[in-house]
A and B are shown apart, each in its own frame.
Chain A
Amino acid sequence: MDTGVLLTQVFNGLSLFSILLLMALGLAIIFGLMGVINLAHGEFMMIGAYTTYVIEIFFSKYVNGAFSMYIFVALISSFFLTAFIGFLTEKTLIQHLYKRPLDTLLATWGLSLILQQSFRNIFGANNVNVDMPKWLIGSFAISQDFNLPYNRIFILLLAILCVGGITLFLFKTRWGLRIRAVTQNRNMSSALGINTRKVDSVAFALGSGLAGIAGSALTMIGSVGPSTGQNYIVDSFMVVILGGIKSLLGTILSAFTIGEIQSVAEFFSSSSMAKVITLVGIIILLQIRPKGLFSMRVRA
C-alpha cells in the first residue's frame, strides 16, 4: 500500500472537511434556529465562488500589482454579498413560511433552480477556473510522495478561523446570545423582548455568508460551474443531520467524519463509489442514532 498517497488523500480529506464544515455550520445554525432547510444553500455557495471569480478577473485586469492579495478581498466580498442575498431571501420568502419546514424545502429548491439558471446565463454553462495568487501555488513536501499543498493548508486555516469566529460570535456577543436564546426557546425569548424576526434575519444572513466563504474556498482547489453547488448540498445536509442539530462540536466532528470517509474511500475505489459508501454509511449510522451522533437528551 502506498502510504504517502494515502496520507495525501487523508490531507485532501481535510479540504473537503473544511468546505463541508463551512457549509454545514451555516445550515446548522439556520436549521437549529428556525427549523428551516435551505436547499438553495449550495447555490449560495456558488454565489461566493462566482464572486471570487469576478474579483480575480478584476484584479488581474485592473489592479495586477495587488493580485497576490485579491483572495482576501474576494473572501470578504463573498461573505457579505452572499449574506446580503441570504438576508433578502429570508425577508421575502422564508419568513412567510415559518412553521412549514417541508414547504420551505420546496420553495428554496425553486430558488436554487432560478439561481442555477442565472449562473448559466451570466457565466456560461461550462466550469470556470480561478487563478491562484503565487503564494498559494506549490506545496510543502514532507516526504517524496506526501505533500501538503499550500492552497489546501490555507483552506484548512480559513475554516478554523471561521469556526473560531463563529464560536466567539455565538458565545461572546449580544447577537450570539440572542441567537442561542431563540434557538433554545423561541416563545420565551420573544416574551423577554427579543425581536425573534430580527434574530432570524441575522442568523440566516450569517449562515448564508458562511456558504459564500465555502464557495470562495472551493475555487482554490478546483474549477466551479453552475451546478457545482448541487454536488455539495446533499453532503452538507448529511453533515448537519449526522452531527445533530444545536451542537457546534457535533457539526465539526461529523464534517470531519464525512470528509475523511469520502476522501479515504476514494483512495480505495472510484470517487462515485466513495460517495455511495459515505451516504449509505451515514444512513446506517442514523439508524443507530436517529437524532444525530452528538445530540443531547432533552425534554420533549
Chain B
Amino acid sequence: MRKFQFNKKWLNLSFYLLFFGSLVVFPFILSDFRLNLVGKFLAFSIVAMGISLSWGYTGILSLGQGIFFGLGAYAMAMYLKLEASGADLPDFMFWNGLTALPWFWKPFKNPLFAFSMVIILPLCLALLIGFVTFKRRISGVYFSLISQALTLVFFILFIGQQGYTGGTNGITDFSTIFGYRLFSRTSQHVIYYLTVLFLFVLLLLGQWLVNRQFGKILIAIRDRENRVRFSGYNPDNFKTIIFGISAVYAGIAGALFVLQEGLISPSIFGVVPSIEMVIWTAIGGRTSLIGAVIGALLVNTAKSLLSENFPEIWLYFLGLLFIIVVRFLPEGLASLFTKPFSSNLLKRQKLSMGVKHV
C-alpha cells in the first residue's frame, strides 16, 4: 500500500514535470504561429481551472465566464489602445463622434491601474452577482440560466455602446506595450512565458485551496448544501468567494489572451464562447485542475486543426463531444487516469470489509 502510493506520487510529479518542461521548451521548437496558438490556449486553460473550482468543486455552473474573461481582456486592451493612440482619441471613438476621452477610460492610461483592473473588475462583478443570487438561495440551473442571461446583456451592451467599447469590432489596432513592439519575437516569448508562469502559479494556488479545509467545504456544499448550513457554515459566503476567484482566473486569462491575439471583441466572450469554456473543463475533468488545463488545450487544439480544414465539421464535433463526455465520461479524461485505481481500490475495500453495496 505504502509503496503503491509512493509510486503514484512519483507518477504525478513526473507528469507535472513533463508537462511544464515541454511548455518551457516549446518556444525553441514551435513556429511562431504555433507558439502563439499554444500561448492563447494556455490562457484558456486558466479559465478552465476557474470553472473547475466553481463548477467541479462547488457545483456552481456559470454559463457567464465569458463576461469575466471579457472584462479582463478589455481592461488590458484599453491600456494598449491608449498607448497606441498616444495623445489622440482612440480611432473608433473618433468615428463614433466622441470628442473627448470618456472619464472611465482616463485612468487606464496608467498601466498599474489597468493591470489591477484586470483582476478587480471581474472580482467585484462576480462578488456582486454571487452576493445577490446566493443570498437569495438562487442556485443550480437557475443560477446557470441567469448567468447566461447576464452574458447576453453584456454582449448586447458592448456591441451597442460603440463609442465606448468599439462595438462589434471591439478594440483593435494596438501594436506596442511599454514602447516595445507587441508582436516582436522577443515580446511574444516574454508574454508566452508570463502565461506559463501565471498558469503555474494559479494551478498551485487552486490546488492549495482545494486541499485546505476550504476545499472540503466546497465539496460538501456541492453535495449537501443544507447539511453545511446546519453544521454552522454560511455556504453563501463560500460560494460567493469561490465564484469571485473563478472570475479572477477568467479575467487574468482574458488579459493574457489579448496580449497574444492583438484584439478583443464581443464575439470572443458571448453566450456561445462562454458555454464552450465549460466544455473545456468538462472534457478534462471537472474535479481536476490539471485535467481542466489539459481539456482546454485538447479542445482548442482540435478546434484549430478542424476549423482550419473543415469549419463545418467542427460544430458537429463540438456538439458530439458535449453529449459523449456528459453521457459516458462525466468526470472527464482525468477519470481515465485516476478512476481505475481508486474504483478498484474501493471495490477491494468493500469486499474485504463486507460493506453493503451502496
Direct contact of A and B (CB under 8 A): yes
A interface with B by C-beta (< 8 Å):
35, 37, 93, 96-97, 100-107, 109-114, 116-117, 120-121, 230, 234, 237-238, 241, 270, 272-273, 275-276, 279-280, 282-283, 286-287, 290
- Asked if B326 contacts A106 (CB within 8 A), the reply is yes
Q: B152 to A107, Cβ gap below 8 A?
A: no
Residue of A nearest to B159 (CB): A272
* Other A-B pairs beyond A114-B316, A237-B149, A238-B145, 10, CB < 8 Å: A97-B326, A106-B322, A113-B318, A276-B156, A283-B146, A283-B149, A283-B150, A287-B132, A287-B136, A290-B142
Report B312-358 residues with CB < 8 Å from chain A CB. Answer: 312, 315-316, 318-323, 326-327, 330
Contact B144 A114 (CB under 8 A): no
A280 touches B153 (CB 8 A): yes
Closest to A275 in B: B156
CB of B279 closer than 8 Å to a CB of A:
yes
The distance in angstroms between the C-alpha atoms of A96 and B162, with both chains bound, is 45
Cα distance, A109 to B193, chains bound together (Å): 35
- Chain A minimum-CB-distance residue to B143: A102
In the complex where A101-B141, A234-B152 touch, is A114 in contact with B326 (Cβ < 8 A)?
no
> A105-B144, A286-B146 are contacts. A96–B327 as well, Cβ < 8 Å?
yes
Determine the chain A residues whose CB is within 8 A of the CB of B132 once the complex forms.
287
B214 to chain A, nearest CB (A): 22
Residue contact B319 to A241, C-beta cutoff 8 Å? no
* Partner among A110, A116, A273, A279 whose Cβ is within 8 Å of the Cβ of B323: A110
Within the assembled complex, what's the spacing in Å between the Cα atoms of A196 and B318?
32
Shortest beta-carbon distance, A274 to chain B, in Å?
A: 10
Q: What sequence of 0s and 1s flags, for each residue 176-196 of chain B, a beta carbon within 8 Å of any chain A beta carbon?
A: 000000000000000000000
Contact of A109 among B138, B159, B316, B322 (CB under 8 A): B322
Which of A100, A101, A113, A282: most chain B Cβ within 10 A?
A113
Chain A contacts for B145, CB-based, 8 A = 37, 234, 237-238, 241
Least CB distance from B132 to A in Å reads: 6
Interface centre among B157, B160, B323 (most CB of A within 10 A): B323
Once the chains bind, are A105 and B152 in contact (CB under 8 Å)? no
Chain B residues with CB under 8 Å of A280's CB are 153
**Given the interface contacts A283-B149, A290-B136, does A102 sit within 8 Å of B327 by beta carbon?**
no
A79 to B151, alpha carbons, bound, how many Å? 31
Is B137 located at the chain interface by the 8 A CB criterion?
Answer: yes
Give Cα A116 to B316, complex, Å. Answer: 9
Write the nearest CB–CB distance from A86 to chain B, whole angstroms.
16
Asked if residues B61 and A241 are in contact (CB atoms below 8 Å), the reply is: no
Kindly report which residue of chain B lies nearest to residue A230, judged by CB atoms.
B271
Output the least CB separation between B25 and chain A (Å).
35
- Are the C-beta atoms of B152 and A279 separated by less than 8 Å? yes
Q: Say how far B233's CB is from chain A's closest CB, in angstroms.
A: 19
A117-B312, A117-B315, A287-B136 known; A110+B322 contact, CB < 8 A: yes
12 pairs across A/B with beta carbons < 8 Å?
A: A97-B327, A102-B61, A104-B326, A105-B61, A110-B279, A120-B312, A275-B152, A275-B156, A276-B153, A279-B149, A287-B133, A287-B136
Bound-state Cα–Cα, A270 to B61, Å: 31
B315 proximity list for chain A (CB < 8 A):
113-114, 116-117
* Residues of chain B in range 275-333 having any CB-CB distance to chain A below 8 Å: 275, 278-279, 282, 312, 315-316, 318-323, 326-327, 330
Contact B156 A272 (CB under 8 A): yes
Q: Could you say which residues of chain B place their CB within 8 Å of the CB of A273? A: 156, 160
Give the CA-CA distance A114 to B319 in the complex, in Å.
5
Report whether A121 and B326 are in contact in the complex, using a CB–CB cutoff of 8 Å.
no
Chain A neighbourhood of B156, CB < 8 A: 272-273, 275-276
Q: Does B148 contact A (CB under 8 A)?
A: yes
A11 CA / B279 CA spacing, docked (Å): 41
Closest to A282 in B: B149
- Note all chain B residues with C-beta closer than 8 A to A112: 319
Residues of chain A within 8 A of B107, CB atoms compared: none
Interface residue? B140 (CB, 8 A) = yes
Q: Which of B138, B144, B312, B327 contacts A107 (CB 8 A)?
A: B327
Given contacts A107-B322, A110-B320, A114-B320, contact A286 B327 (CB under 8 A): no
Q: Are the C-beta atoms of B140 and A102 separated by less than 8 Å?
A: yes
Contacting pair B282 A106 (CB below 8 A): yes
Pick from A101, A111, A283, A290: contact of B137, CB below 8 A: A290
A23 CA to B275 CA, complexed, in Å:
22
Please, which residues of chain B bring their CB within 8 A of the CB of A234? 145, 148-149, 152, 271
Q: Does B330 lie within 8 Å of A279, measured CB to CB?
A: no
| Distance of A103 Cα from B160 Cα, bound (Å) | 33
Complex contacts, B152 vs chain A, CB 8 Å: 234, 275, 279
- Within 95-148 of B, Cβ neighbours of A (below 8 Å) are at 132-133, 136-138, 140-142, 144-146, 148
Contact assessment for B136 and A286 in the assembled complex, using a CB-CB cutoff below 8 Å? yes
